[in-house]
Copies of this chain bind each other. A is one copy, B any other.
Amino acid sequence: MIVEMRKGATQEEINEVVERAKSLNFGVQLNVGTDKVVVAILGSHTGQTPTDVFAVLPGVERVTRIMKPYKLASREFQPRDTLVNCGGVTIGDRRIVVIAGPCAVESEKQLRQAAEAVIRAGARILRGGAFKPRTSPFTFQGLQKKGLEILAAVREEYRIPVVTEVVNPQDVKLVASYADMLQIGSRNMQNFALLTAVGKSKHPAVLKRGFACTITEWLNAADYLLAEGNTQVVLCERGIRTFEDTVRFSLDISSVPVLKRNSHLPVIVDPSHAAGHYSLVPAIAKAAIAAGSDFLII
């Protein structure tokens, strides 16, 4: 349920709405806009509560129900676009930002070369994996802490923000201390313990789409981050699993306008992961931008 306060509603009036919600065992999330405040009333039993319970309170303009299963990620809760600040680079203000870098950090030399190439090509953010979620336990799992140190050194040297993946709730603090943005990988999109930990960190985060998850499930997962008070969330479309076998994953281009319509979060696209072959990347990248995405991860 969304409680929109009148322009100029007092802090006292807002507090009364919050207290009423808490007395009914609901959670509460505030969206403080430039001229008015919106209060989200959260909980699985909101459907059984009449909207009048809040509509009669002083300072309330309107109470509406969010019919979608996701709440905080929805445009109903927040009509204006979210802007995410990744180490000084803004994502979501309609300028295309490119993020690039190697899949895994292998050595300082390799990452330095990558950073130079990336900056020369116009990308604004460097990415590189220190913790790698591999399908088999017998393949290289990333340099881990050593990889984070290399990332931090290159970030310092080239003055470029870095993004890297986190795979364990216990590592969130550690990774956040080295990186400007945390990446939650496709296989962890519904790892709710990890989402909660990244939410609590309030660190900017990229939430990649689970390769077989619907857009609704994806925005529900974003709600896990937002519910902990982390508003710095970027969504990354990276392709879905289908029967087509000329590509590794089928990029779901429709997800870009669907997300833009239903959510306020920035949307980025990872064309290289989906394509699985470099020759297809330019066409898919151009399509992603044409469809309205905010930036690209390559």
By a beta-carbon cutoff of 8 Å, the part of chain A in contact with chain B is 27, 42-44, 69-71, 133-140, 167-170, 187-188, 190-194, 196, 210-212, 214-217, 220-221, 223-224, 227, 240-247, 250-258, 260-261, 274-275, 279-280, 282-284, 286-292
Interface pair A170/B170, CB less than 8 Å apart: yes
Complex: A59 Cα to B241 Cα, angstroms = 47
Interface pair B290/A245, CB less than 8 Å apart: no
In angstroms, how far is the closest chain B Cβ from the Cβ of A223? 5
Interface pair A212/B212, CB less than 8 Å apart: yes
Known: A136-B220, A187-B192, A251-B253. 10 other contacts (CB 8 A): A44-B136, A69-B136, A137-B223, A167-B193, A187-B191, A244-B255, A246-B254, A250-B252, A258-B280, A290-B290
Complex: A287 Cα to B258 Cα, angstroms = 14
Given contacts A70-B136, A193-B168, A223-B138, contact A212 B27 (CB under 8 A): no
Complex: A193 Cα to B137 Cα, angstroms = 11
- A170 proximity list for chain B (CB < 8 A): 169-170, 193
In angstroms, how far is the closest chain B Cβ from the Cβ of A75? 13
Interface pair B133/A190, CB less than 8 Å apart: yes
Given contacts A27-B138, A138-B44, contact A257 B244 (CB under 8 A): no
Interface pair A133/B242, CB less than 8 Å apart: no
Complex: A281 Cα to B43 Cα, angstroms = 31
- Of the candidates B133, B137, B261, B280, the one whose C-beta lies within 8 Å of that of A257 is B280
Chain B's closest residue to A197 (CB) is B168
Complex: A144 Cα to B71 Cα, angstroms = 24
> Which of A70, A227, A286, A290: most chain B Cβ within 10 A?
A290
Complex: A237 Cα to B217 Cα, angstroms = 22
In angstroms, how far is the closest chain B Cβ from the Cβ of A104? 12
Interface pair A283/B291, CB less than 8 Å apart: yes
Interface pair A136/B253, CB less than 8 Å apart: no
- A227 proximity list for chain B (CB < 8 A): 137-138
> Which of A136, A138, A170, A224: most chain B Cβ within 10 A?
A138
In angstroms, how far is the closest chain B Cβ from the Cβ of A47? 11
Chain B's closest residue to A226 (CB) is B137
- A221 proximity list for chain B (CB < 8 A): 135
Interface pair B240/A254, CB less than 8 Å apart: no
- A138 proximity list for chain B (CB < 8 A): 27, 42-44, 71, 223, 227
- A247 proximity list for chain B (CB < 8 A): 254, 258
In angstroms, how far is the closest chain B Cβ from the Cβ of A81? 16
- A214 proximity list for chain B (CB < 8 A): 243-246
Ordered nearest first, which 3 A-B pairs have the shortest CB separation? A212-B212, A290-B290, A257-B283
Interface pair B280/A286, CB less than 8 Å apart: no
- A168 proximity list for chain B (CB < 8 A): 169, 193
Complex: A191 Cα to B131 Cα, angstroms = 13
